[in-house]
């Protein structure tokens, strides 16, 4: 996985810009689609759901460039609490919607698609995208970025993710001998800015008694 390295503030900013412009020249039309992932106009209920948004995008590859040409799913936010279904992560639901959309081609695989998501996908969602033959994943904040941070959901603070320490989507895919690509850290400051007002850093986990 490529991700810019921390350093002094100025070089960090330059490294961020360079990293992002490299991604944008490889994945055409990435920025506007990713910006919409962080848009305030999205149905975005931060007080009821983990604020994670995902979309599956169809690409056309010309030489080494991926042109993102069509949204294969709508923009999807988490609906775990609204649906009382712990499997309804934004990424997994986006993958399912994209698969349904494939019916127009009479096929189900997403081998010409990329998953864009604001947070590094968990093992379930990464496995799901692998299962449908997805080509690659681009995400903003990593699981590591969010470790130890809590977010206000449904009246209580909950930890962001529950993957074990050391987990990464890239490592997970390597262990499965997958050649799916993973690029993390894209627009992560912008994504964090959107999430930060609802976060808590040193709290202890308070169980959400409203969710059974």
Cα gap 100→91, rounded to integer Å: 14
DSSP state of 37: H
Element (H, E) at 67: strand 65-71
Q: Which stretch binds Zn ion (CB under 5 A): 84-92, 109-117, 135-143, 144-152?
A: 84-92
**Residue 79 Cα distances to 7, 17, 76, 83, 94, angstroms:** 37, 33, 9, 6, 11
- Classify 114 as helix, strand or coil: strand
Least distance to Zn ion, CB of residue 128, Å: 8
Q: Which stretch binds Zn ion (CB under 5 A): 42-50, 68-76, 125-133, 146-154?
A: 125-133
Cα gap 158→49, rounded to integer Å: 10
- Among 68, 80, 125, 182, interactor with Zn ion by CB under 5 A: 125
Decide: is 188 part of the binding site for Zn ion (CB under 5 A): no
Q: Map tokens 């947070």 to a residue.
A: 119
Nearer to Zn ion by C-beta: 161 or 183? 161
Q: Which stretch binds Zn ion (CB under 5 A): 43-51, 87-95, 139-147, 152-160?
A: 87-95
- Among 23, 68, 122, 151, interactor with Zn ion by CB under 5 A: 122
Decide: is 89 part of the binding site for Zn ion (CB under 5 A): yes
Instruction: Provide the binding-site residues for Zn ion, judged by CB under 5 A.
Output: 89, 122, 124-125
């Amino acid at each position: 996985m490529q991700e810019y390295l921390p350093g002094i503030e100025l070089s960090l900013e330059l490294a961020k810009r360079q990293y992002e412009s490299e991604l944008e020249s490889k994945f055409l039309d990435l920025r506007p689609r990713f910006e919409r992932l962080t848009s305030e106009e999205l149905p975005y209920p931060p007080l009821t759901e983990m604020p994670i948004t995902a979309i599956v995008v169809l690409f056309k590859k010309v030489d080494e460039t991926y042109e993102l040409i069509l949204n294969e799913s709508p923009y999807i936010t988490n609906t775990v609490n609204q649906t009382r279904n712990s499997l309804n992560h934004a990424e997994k639901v986006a993958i399912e919607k994209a698969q349904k959309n494939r019916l127009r081609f009479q096929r189900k695989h997403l081998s010409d698609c990329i998953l864009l998501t604001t947070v590094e996908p968990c093992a379930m969602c990464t496995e799901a995208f692998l299962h449908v033959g997805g080509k690659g994943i681009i995400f903003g904040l990593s699981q590591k970025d969010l470790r130890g941070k809590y977010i206000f959901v449904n009246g209580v603070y909950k930890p962001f993710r529950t993957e074990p320490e050391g987990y990464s989507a890239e490592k997970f895919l390597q262990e499965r001998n997958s050649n799916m690509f993973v690029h993390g850290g894209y627009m992560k400051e912008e994504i964090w800015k959107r999430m930060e007002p609802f976060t808590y850093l040193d709290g202890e986990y308070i169980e959400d008694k409203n969710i059974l």
